Structure 1
């Protein structure tokens, strides 16, 4: 058991020492001046020494009183801050979303301001990475958006975010209007997006062509591969969903959309706990996410 005086006495002393007035302390704590005086006297008896010098219209802490006041004021500040955090946590809804890096950067982040405006009481915390998140183990994460696959576990809801078109994308300044598109695809520099489920070998085979056997620049994130294509490094085989901003700005164009076969794959998966799907913050985010995907 902690060896400290009654908290009520400490509170009365701190207020009186801070104001240097029993009257002002009484007003702050909604007590009478005599009650404050009595509590201070009881605390002085506990310590066996005077904590105040009584003057005509005010009181002045002694040296020991000033030290005690300073320590108590800092302690009460910390207690108040801790209580405020708990109160705010109850009132606010914090939603932690784990997302694959490229999806977070290229698709989710540009849309988050709309969610925040629609649901100002929900605070979004986004974490990104390439790991396969298991929500049965990661209790601090509410929703996971993973790339390539999702951990299937009892108690989890897992759903695909739909098929994504994966096409060759290139900076328009690299295209040559005087050459046919098949010819250009044979000689343009190719960029490997290492995690993509569709490889260049897959794409060339699907279009009845031979994949050029030459060195290719490689990136381990789709976002990096897309940025490299914007910079003119070469042609990237990536998801239209991830490159939508670059395409909208004209920085990237699909190569031969009406000429070549388009490949589609389910690449991103949403997962959340079944017993939390009716929580407002989880439900609202999922509904918003599905609406955004449908509108894209």
Structure 2
């Protein structure tokens, strides 16, 4: 059987010695200063040594008190560490998000570190595909960011992520310094197959005749932009997807100021109406809308 003084008295002494104050120790342990003093006096009687030199406003450790504090601090640190290791870990909350591959890689992915810094306890689990998903059937998903036209569905809340600007994008080497309004018809036009905005619509809006010539096409915005960076031709894509390339100078907006861009809502935030009060969904929703609106202001 271990021969030890009261653990409560040892805790009172350790707190008072560490904080150098009976008052602060009392506040930490939710006791009264007189209770702390009583516990310490009990220890001093047990050891037959003074542990503190007391004055009106402060207490100072004696040599015996210093020796006891050094040992207790190490022991309590070890006890606290093993208790923390053995305690059940708080389950990290996760949010399952589905979106298109290009939205994930070109826009959402680069912003997720900022979201994680703002909400460190929420883990994003992302999946992507070009095909739309049905949230009422895909119970493992919390939210979906749909692309293109979205059909209204009972039980699903759908909210647009703001209007996006679609404009012709190309390598600055391809465009050159002197660019006339009619010059775009001389360039190779890259078709983005999934983009609801097509070249024919863009030429019509700008009062130009669309050239009758072959158009290379890709089924991902990321591939379309990569082809434009490589100088294959001019892409008609969302400026939202080309942030990095425009910032680095790999791409420029062709004839900016000469043409009228097309603005349209093409991305939509979707979640089940039954989850309307979900805190994690609302946190992600509010953050996503702030990011989208900031981009719209920059445009």
Q: Same fold, TM exceeding 0.5?
A: yes
Equivalent in the alignment of 2:91: 91
**Partner residue of 1:147?**
147
Aligned to 1:211: 210
Q: Deviations over 1:211-264 (max 9, x none)?
A: 111111100011110111111111000001111111111111111221111111
Distance in 2, Cα, partners of 1:179 & 1:132: 39
Say if 1:136 and 1:153, in contact at 8 Å, map to a contact too.
Answer: no
Offset from partner CA, 1:47-79 (integer Å, 9 cap, x none): xxxxxxxxxxxxxxxxxxxxxxxxxxxxxxxxx
SS at match of 1:243: helix
Tell me how far apart the structure 2 counterparts of residues 199 and 91 of structure 1 sit (CA, whole Å). 46
Q: Secondary structure at the match of 2:249?
A: coil
Task: Please name the residue that 1:162 is paired with.
Answer: 162
For residue 179 of structure 1, report the CA deviation from its aligned partner: 4.6
Contact 2:180 2:255 in 1 (8 A): no
| Cα pair 1:133 1:151 within 8 Å, conserved | no
Stretch deviating more after TM superposition (207-216 or 145-154): 145-154
Match of 1:249 in 2: 248
Equivalent residue, structure 2, for 1:188: 187
C-alpha displacement at 1:122, in angstroms?
0.7
Alpha carbons 1:168, 1:255 under 8 Å: kept: yes
Specify the SS of the correspondent of 1:191.
strand
Q: Distance in 2 between matches of 1:181 and 1:249?
A: 25
Instruction: Kindly indicate whether residue 222 of structure 2 is the aligned counterpart of residue 198 of structure 1.
Output: no
- Paired residues of 2:170 and 2:233 also in contact (CA < 8 A): yes
**Contact 1:150/1:271 (8 A) holds in 2:** no
Shift of 1:286: 0.6
In the other structure, the counterpart of 1:119 is: 119
* TM-score when normalising by structure 1: 0.68
Deviates more, 1:272-281 or 1:224-233: 272-281
| Map of 1:106 onto structure 2 | 106
Between the aligned partners of 2:113 and 2:243, the Cα distance in structure 1 is: 17
**Partner Cα distance (1:151, 1:255) in 2:** 33
| TM-score between both structures, scaled by the size of structure 2 | 0.67
SS in 1 for 2:240: coil
Corresponding residue of 1:272:
271
In the alignment, the residues of structure 1 paired with residue 121 and residue 114 of structure 2 have an alpha-carbon distance, to the nearest angstrom, of 13
What RMSD over aligned residues (CA atoms) do the two structures have, in Å? 1.6
SS at 2:241's partner residue?
coil
SS in 1 for 2:291: helix
Matches within 5 A, 1:49-60: none
Q: Is the 8 A contact 2:167 2:238 kept in 1?
A: yes
Contact 1:172 1:253 in 2 (8 A): yes
Distance in 1 of aligned mates of 2:291 and 2:156: 22
2:230 aligns with 231
Q: CA deviation at 1:129?
A: 0.6
Matched, 1:292 2:291: yes
Alpha carbons of 1:172 and 1:100: their partners in 2 closer, same or farther (altered >3 Å)? same
Q: How many matched pairs?
A: 209
